[in-house]
A and B are shown apart, each in its own frame.
Chain A
Amino acid sequence: MNKTEPIAENYLDLIRKISSELTPVKPIQILPLLFKWSLLSIGTCLINIIYHARPDLPEQLNTPLFYLPISLLGVGLALGMYGVLLSGFPGRVPKSRHYILLSGIGTGLWILWYLLPIGIDLLHHHALSLDNGEACSKQVLLMAFIPLLSGLFFLRKLAPTQRRPTSLLLFAMATLIGTLSISFICPSASSVHILGWHFLPIIMMGTLGAGLGLRLFNW
């Protein structure tokens, strides 16, 4: 259509009708949204951590090495949450990709931290055993519940144009919050246990999110 060409009457009718319903709106800001989401998520996880804290937590908190994997995952999580919210705004997907990439690097380093000992064990022909950690997975999923619901609520307020990836990331990030919190609950230092019972739920939930994305973020 040429720009000088007049707009059809049916569009003009609709435009007039829509315009008459206009009310002032405030642009949605991403940082307050992120703050609310983080507050809700961390708050609920913190309550769980207080009730189920690992017995050696005070000692661990005095060990600098304890903070390394947690901070890697924490940085990955924060960037990922920001990326997910960014991807919820129409037209901001390319920008959100940078944050998701950075989040991936943080989380990837965290995985590597646990993968390296497994590799060394395998090189020395040590048997790897996946001890019973169902309770950990349940806790991870339980702690992911509120972050997931609140994230869903905030993202549905926006208008995600790439529903499937947004949903996948939201589910993965919510479970990542649970995985980060479980570090303060589960005393196991076994890499196999952490990757099997703490990390696997992220992949499972991410897959579930990808499957439900189209329905959850329909607008």
Chain B
Amino acid sequence: MTTKQPLDDLIKKAQLGDQAPYEELLKTVVTLALPFLKKQNISEFDCDDIIQNTLIAVHKNLATYHPKHSAKAWLYAIIRYKLMDYFRQKYRANAQEFTDELDLLLLSSSLEEDMINSERKRLLDHALTQLNQSQEKIIRLMKLEGLSAKEVAQKVGLSETNVKVIAFRGYKKLAKLLGNDTAFLGCIFLCLFTDIVKGGG
């Protein structure tokens, strides 16, 4: 800026269609907006965006300035509006990004879980086929179908105590068969333990 003119003079001349004061006015907008935006901790890239939007907004709404009123208030109102607009858009984008990330995380974790579970199921199926017929049947009924020892006893026509004994022997055999998978063993013994605590098996 070589010759400093009051802001309202610049706007008045710009409204009349004078290009040189208009250019000066737009430069003033940049010099006013930059420190204001930098105070809001906005990155340089986003500052550029907001200032460009502000310049376009000033151009489009030049007619809304009335010479009787404060030019600075008019300019800052537009800058603040564009800043709020930016924050609103950023907030929406962040919220969208967050939900996208969350979806991805849930999807990946469920995929991972599915893979682990299907692998465990395959190993368990393989181990169960190596038990004798009654042990396999009772364990499948108790652990995979979730029946109680009493219900299993009624279904297979054995006494409840007998079912528990067969199941216990089956668990021990399974533990031996799946010896390497300690986590899986832990699960089996946890199931067994909870059943014992409940008095179910």
In A45-94, the 8 Å CB interface with B consists of 89-93
* Shortest Cβ-Cβ A-B pairs, 3 listed: A24-B17, A91-B73, A91-B77
Q: Is the CB of A90 within 8 A of B14?
A: no
B61 contacts A24, CB within 8 Å?
Answer: no
Q: Tell me, yes or no, whether A159 is within 8 Å of chain B by CB.
A: yes
CB distance from A33 to the nearest CB of B (A): 11
User: What is the size category of the interface that chain A forms with chain B?
Assistant: 20 to 34
The verdict on A14 contacting chain B, using a C-beta distance below 8 Å, is yes
Chain B CB within 10 Å, residue with most, of A10, A25, A90: A90
Main secondary structure, interface of B, reads: helix
Chain A residues within an 8 Å CB radius of B22: 19, 22
Which residues on the B side are within 8 Å of A26 (C-beta)? 15, 63
B55–A22 CB distance below 8 A? no
**A interface residues, Cβ below 8 angstroms from B:** 1, 3, 7, 10-12, 14-16, 18-30, 89-93, 158-159, 161, 219
Q: Which residue of the partner chain B has the closest CB to A24?
A: B17
Tell yes or no: B86 within 8 A of A by CB.
no
Q: Tell me the nearest residue of chain B to A90, going by C-beta.
A: B77
Q: Is the C-beta of B120 less than 8 angstroms from some C-beta in chain A?
A: no
B14 / chain A contacts, CB cutoff of 8 Å: 22
> Which of A16, A23, A91 contacts B70, CB < 8 Å?
A91
Q: How far is the CA of A14 from the CA of B70 in the complex (A)?
A: 25
Q: Per a CB cutoff under 8 Å, which of B1, B51, B57, B63 touches A25?
A: B63
Cβ-defined partner of B64 (8 Å) among A18, A23, A89: A89
Chain A, interface SS category:
loop
Query: Which chain B residues (29-54) contact chain A, with CB distance < 8 Å?
Result: 30-31, 34-35, 38, 48, 51-52
Whether B59 and A28, one on each chain, are in contact in the complex, defined by CB atoms closer than 8 angstroms, is no
User: Nearest A residue to B76 by beta-carbon distance?
Assistant: A91
Interface pair B15/A159, CB less than 8 Å apart? no
**B76 near A159 (CB under 8 angstroms)?**
no
Question: Judging by beta carbons under 8 Å apart, are A19 and B19 in contact?
Answer: yes
**Interchain CA distance A93-B171 in the complex, whole Å:** 78
Residues of A within 8 A of B57 (CB): 159, 219
B63-A27 in contact (CB<8A) = yes
Q: Is B74 an interface residue (CB 8 A)?
A: yes
B31 cross-chain contacts in A, Cβ below 8 A = 1, 3, 7
B66 touches A1 (CB 8 A): no
Q: Which residue of A lies closest to B72 (CB)?
A: A91
Contact A24 B76 (CB under 8 A): no
Question: Contacting A22 at CB < 8 Å: which of B19, B27, B78?
Answer: B19
